[in-house]
Amino acid sequence: MERFAVPTRFAFCYHPDAQQTTKDLVDEIIQFLYHAGVKNIFNAPLYDAELIRKVEEGDFDVLVAVGGDGTMLRAGHLSAPVGLPILGINTGGFGFLTEVKDGEWHEAFENLFAGAYRIEKRMMLQVEHWRNDQLLGSWSALNEVVVTRGWDVRPIQLEATVDGFIVGNFIADGLIVSTATGSTAYALAAGGPIMPPDLPHILIIPVAPHLSVDRAIILSQGASVKVTASTRQQAVFSVDGQHPIEIAPQDHIQAYPGKNMVSFIRFKDPGYFYHNLMIYMERNPSIGKALS
């Protein structure tokens, strides 16, 4: 394994509503680092203003995210613009984005201090909301953008184009435009294929299509997707599970590979992804778990 520089400046983050056991684990790891001679450590929940400012100013070498995949997702949004790598420690149910379990962190930090790790980069989407020629908003997505029906329990009509060419008209509950990372999230639940996480490709998959194309489409590298809602029913879109935003008829959502990438610190070879996947396919670890 390639040897990397040993980090000396650490930021710890966790979900603002994390259980006390997660916060206690953070405190335990921080005490371990202090005893190991690490002096520069910052600890705060996600969305903390000072944490955001320090990350943006480049004050850290590593962002340690303690929690579940949701915490890792939010940490990715925070760290990607400045290229700050994330070390994820899983205390949640699923661990598609994390590699280190909460009982394995000692070994992980020993490897980190030995420089025995690798950096795994994940593509992000740039998502834009357009109305005619007016840009209404722009977001980054690590998992996906979903265009879906609103309150009305009726399918909506959606048109998808790739690089200006129509690839499908859908009558469906919605359409998912996903990264390879997102292929194990909502896209997987909708019956989509599982993609190796470092692939720089976009996946399109309809949700509950009615007499429409019901197959997922994996696009060429660098492709751009436009989804137009041409329906009288209420339609909304959501980026990485954030609060949905209503879209008007003929609005369109543009998604294309973003300039930022999320960097994850990994200690195992790339086959860890398939090992974890097989475990999660055999049992659902989120059953009975609280939010992390």
Q: Tokens for 228?
A: 């137009």
List the pLDDT tens digit at each of the 292 positions of the chain: 556 788 999 999 999 999 999 999 999 999 999 999 999 999 999 999 999 999 999 999 999 999 999 999 999 999 999 999 999 999 976 678 888 988 899 999 999 999 999 999 999 999 999 999 999 999 999 999 999 998 888 899 999 999 999 999 999 999 999 999 999 999 999 999 999 999 999 999 999 998 888 899 999 999 999 999 887 788 999 999 999 999 998 899 999 999 999 999 999 887 777 766 776 666 665 555 544 4
H or E element that contains 56: helix 49-56
Among all residues, which ones are annotated catalytic? 69
Task: CATH 2.60.200.30 in the chain: give the residue spans.
Answer: 124-259
State the pLDDT at residue 146: 98
Q: Is 113 left (phi over 0), alpha (psi -120 to 50) or beta?
A: alpha
Helix or strand run (H / E) with residue 227? strand 225-229
Q: What is the pLDDT of residue 153?
A: 85
| Amino acid making up residue 121 | K
Q: Are 160 and 166 in contact (CB under 8 A)?
A: yes
Which of 13, 107, 22, 114 has the alpha carbon at shortest distance from 65?
A: 13
Query: Domain spanning 9-117+267-282: which superfamily?
Result: Probable inorganic polyphosphate/atp-NAD kinase; domain 1 (3.40.50.10330)
Q: What pLDDT does 249 receive?
A: 87
CATH of 124-259, one of 2.60.40.10, 2.60.200.30, 3.40.640.10, 3.40.50.300: 2.60.200.30
pLDDT for residue 157: 93
Neighbours of 244 (CB within 10 A): 15
DSSP run (H or E) holding 106: helix 105-113
Distances (CA, A) of 142 to 52, 242, 282: 18, 12, 25
pLDDT, tens digit, for every residue of 257-291? 999 999 999 998 877 777 667 766 666 655 555 44
Q: What is the dihedral sign for C-alpha 106, 109, 111, 113?
A: negative
- Chain position carrying tokens 């480049």: 58
Delimit the CATH 3.40.50.10330 region(s) of the chain.
9-117+267-282
Please enumerate in sequence order all residues whose Cβ is within 8 A of that of 231, keeping only pairs 6 or more positions apart, or say none.
156, 157, 158, 249
pTM of the model: 0.91
